[in-house]
Amino acid sequence: MEKNEIFEAMTNNPVMFLATVEDDQPHVRAVFLYRADESGILFHMAKRREMYAQIVKNNKVELCFSCGPVQIRVTGRLDEIDDNALKDEICEHPSRAFLKKLRENGAFEDFYLDVAVFRLSNGMASLWSMDKNYAPKEMVQI
């Protein structure tokens, strides 16, 4: 798969699994992708979540997307993006009606301070499929 095909597969399968580490214990949970393109892989979360503290302490993560017969795993470092215009864009996106509703219903004391946006850029993607189960990993810089 080429890089643009990887981004397209991620976009078409926006539920990803995020792995973080706290002390020596890994933690994995599902997260909803906002965007995957040349600028990186973007997603958001409430800062009150445990995973936020885990990322702040150790920003090395792995993401896993299940894209039909192909699994895409991306390793790299997350950077927090402090951009209120981007947070507004995310909140207004049709796929984020749930976030807009939470914001309007006062779930956040201060939306801009309570929501974090992360970007993984310059990561390494590895691809897996059953038909290449025993082949060497195919790695793609994204």
Extents of the domains making up the chain: 3-81+117-141
Can you give the pLDDT at residue 138?
Answer: 83
Mean pLDDT of all residues in 63-88: 97
Give the pLDDT band (50/70/90) at residue 21.
very high
Does residue 5 register a pLDDT over 90?
A: yes
Q: What is the mean pLDDT of the chain?
A: 96
| CATH top class, domain 3-81+117-141 | mainly beta
Q: Is 50 exposed, middle or buried (0-12, 13-18, 19+ CB in 10 A)?
A: exposed
Taking only Cα atoms into account, the Rg of the chain, rounded to an integer number of angstroms, comes to 16
Model-level pTM greater than 0.75?
Answer: yes
For the segment 96-115, the average pLDDT, to the nearest whole number, is: 96
- pLDDT of 141 reads 95
Neighbours of 141 (CB within 10 A): 9
